[in-house]
Copies of this chain bind each other. A is one copy, B any other.
């Protein structure tokens, strides 16, 4: 049998690199996929994509009209993506745009009563799924994992500048 994975960082071909299975981006992707697989049916039941749900959830969390730019930050969506998503959600009467009195460029987004109802309807099932994960993984451990993930994400802020150089093809 050929060596599938030698110890250390040497792959079969002699390329010095971590084994694929130890790639952090892959591990994060896998974990997220596994997690989302549990939540996705809740969303598809309501014809919501993950990103649409992120928007609704972010609005519900704040429970205040939110500027589009702020919403983009909260949901990790680019402005053009968010813009189209908002058009979609507005068309379904889940959110509404409101003009800002003192700055006509700005628009704020708020949940409609219908939008709030949808969130309220999904929330309990979402919590159920979450509690399942907690039960299987351990509540304390999960909280620790969340904290660690936040910290990993926070590392990035300002860290990537100057990180990669001499890569001018």
- A binding-site residues for B, Cβ under 8 Å: 2, 4-5, 9, 11-13, 15-39, 41-42, 45, 50, 54, 57-58, 60-64, 74, 76, 111, 116, 119-120, 123-130, 132-133, 136-137, 141-142, 145-146, 148-157, 159-160, 163-164, 166-167, 169
Contacts and interface: CB of A to CB of B under 8 A. Distances in A.
B16 A124 contact: yes
A46 to B, nearest CB: 8
A15 B119 contact: yes
A153 B76 contact: no
A107 to B, nearest CB: 19
A15 B148 contact: no
Given A25-B39, A30-B149, A169-B45, A11 B61 contact: yes
User: Number of copies of this chain in the oligomer?
Assistant: 2
Contacts of A33: 76, 153
Contact of A151 (B29, B116, B137, B146): B137
With a 10 A CB-CB cut-off, give which of A2, A21, A124, A153 has the most chain B CB atoms.
A153
A17 to B, nearest CB: 4
